[in-house]
Structure 1
């Protein structure tokens, strides 16, 4: 069995750089996922974010979740449930405009910590996009520019808890899907596992590792790389004991960003041609909202059909 790619970012600064870049390339081309260690975010700070997130769940969300389970009779289900996820979540928006001050129930310490955490993840996302540019042979900053739109990228965080589930064989924590956006940075529980990705027809566990950040490729990077990097189906399976924490931050294109395969990559693989359509990110998201838990290929086809009916201007530059 191949081992899940774990990449030590600290080695970028020494003679191991070539090897690290090769590992990132292989992970992007063959896995769609990888795990980062020594990524520059302090371990103490991550411990603090985890502690505050778990406290917030216990204080503000646990009771609500129990009431939802009770009202839907989920503890007594006898057959598989395909239209519901066993998760308790809230969302934070950071860019282009933050809504963190408007989220109820967040105490000041937690609010401040999440703001700082998002700032550090944003920097890490941009560093990673430049590493991908380097591997793809694109000019530095190309992917950031492609995501920019008129107001910069969209960046937000989904904070989830997956409480213990009495029927883990019948209810998914989060149903299988690919992520619609750009690059996803996940800080996951290192004690309670559950995240799995689909590789070569098999579900593989993404190993919980202390202080790591899990990275995965979204649909937009698949389009921009003309399929060289692919977004991958993944899901969360729930456990009968242990509450799993997950903080997923999505660095996505701006809503009006025009997304299309990088011309240089099409040139490099001329015989393959342009496989993916050109579209406005917001249009893709509107479609995705209703089709999240279905295969991505029909979404790309629908965008291709739309492409001929709308006039898309040039890519905005920063």
Structure 2
């Protein structure tokens, strides 16, 4: 289901004094009511985006595609008759950028691809920190508050999940990526502009996130919902597998450091009864949770972008280990 009013925001308008206030209002509304928005004119060179896309798709064809087909055949997934609930139809690998990089250690990457992904990560890190400060401005928090909140003893965690969603013969029975919220901070997604599939849950309906060339999709993670005392929403989303086309997805997660302590900003706790909504925790050693307004349990802890979701086994994990 497509929705024409999905928030698409030009960051270039922030430089225009006549359009800045209305643009900031759009960002605020998107964070409060959607948990997602799409940015254009974001400052990342389109030539870099085109190169990232080209090399990512070449890498899948060269190093990942055959392994994925072998996994599908070994599991009998091309002929399933019943819904599959313990597997995601995706092929993935992970890159870590902060606090230290693993790009030089990831196997099967061409040197040009490593170099380009390092450059891309640098651009995304700058964009993530710019967006965090825009959120601070809208929330009435001091500049740098969210970035500082994410800094543990070694700074934030920042990493990228590179995914391909190949054509699926039974998309009604296997999800590309099952419904979930993101446990981290702010997520920046560079997605395929030809093959759709990403959906978010809004007002009880699944809404398509429109694929647009050279845009970056932004979504709010659980930790920002905690810090903002629920003003900004981390929402359920999923990826629907498609019968045609191979969807590219490059999701970068700017998350709190492993020992960062996450709790609501004092300036955003207006009433005494709100203080217990997201209880203050010491640095995390095990997954904590809070109960959201809809009664569901939600993550209240930094999860490394490299850790699988609980009770999840997926095609990506099998491929990444090969």
Deviation by residue 1:235-293 (Cα, 9 ceiling, x = unmatched):
00011010000000000000000000001111x45564441022356446x468xxxxx
Deviation by residue 1:62-94 (Cα, 9 ceiling, x = unmatched):
000000000000001001001100000000000
Number of the residue aligned with 1:170: 173
1:71-150 matches, within 5 Å, as: 71-150=74-153
Residue 12 of structure 1 pairs with residue 11 of structure 2: no
C-alpha displacement of 1:142: 0.4
What TM-score do you get using the length of structure 1 for normalisation?
A: 0.89
Residue 297 of structure 1 pairs with residue 300 of structure 2: no
Select which of 34, 41, 44 maps to 2:44: 41
Number of the residue aligned with 1:66: 69
Q: How many residues align?
A: 293
Distance, in Å, in 2 between the alignment partners of 1:145 and 1:105 is 35
- The answer on whether the counterparts of 1:158 and 1:247 sit within 8 Å (CA) in structure 2 is yes
What TM-score do you get using the length of structure 2 for normalisation?
A: 0.88
Distance, in Å, in 1 between the alignment partners of 2:133 and 2:141 is 9
Number of the residue aligned with 2:313: none
- The answer on whether the counterparts of 1:6 and 1:37 sit within 8 Å (CA) in structure 2 is yes
Residue 24 of structure 1 pairs with residue 27 of structure 2: yes
C-alpha displacement of 1:44: 1.1
CA gap of 1:281–1:185, structure 2 versus 1, over 3 A, is farther
Q: Secondary structure in 1 aligned to 2:168?
A: coil
Select which of 187, 194, 197 maps to 1:194: 197
Distance, in Å, in 2 between the alignment partners of 1:168 and 1:40 is 36
Deviation by residue 1:77-131 (Cα, 9 ceiling, x = unmatched):
0010011000000000000000000000000000000000001000000000000
Q: Which runs of 5+ in 1 are unaligned?
A: 289-294, 302-318
Number of the residue aligned with 2:292: none
Distance, in Å, in 1 between the alignment partners of 2:161 and 2:298 is 26
Number of the residue aligned with 1:258: 261
Number of the residue aligned with 2:317: none
Select which of 216, 219, 225 maps to 1:216: 219
- The answer on whether the counterparts of 1:254 and 1:281 sit within 8 Å (CA) in structure 2 is no
Structure showing the higher helix proportion among its residues: 1
Number of the residue aligned with 2:183: 180
Residue 51 of structure 1 pairs with residue 54 of structure 2: yes
C-alpha displacement of 1:300: 4.6
1:232-243 matches, within 5 Å, as: 232-243=235-246
Q: Which runs of 5+ in 2 are unaligned?
A: 290-294, 302-322
Q: Relative contact order (alpha carbons < 8 A, sep ≥ 6): 1 or 2 greater?
A: 2
C-alpha displacement of 1:297: 2.1
Select which of 269, 277, 280 maps to 2:279: 277
Distance, in Å, in 2 between the alignment partners of 1:92 and 1:270 is 42
Distance, in Å, in 2 between the alignment partners of 1:2 and 1:227 is 26
CA gap of 1:115–1:296, structure 2 versus 1, over 3 A, is farther
CA gap of 1:150–1:38, structure 2 versus 1, over 3 A, is same
C-alpha displacement of 1:2: 5.9
Distance, in Å, in 2 between the alignment partners of 1:53 and 1:23 is 32
- The answer on whether the counterparts of 1:174 and 1:236 sit within 8 Å (CA) in structure 2 is yes
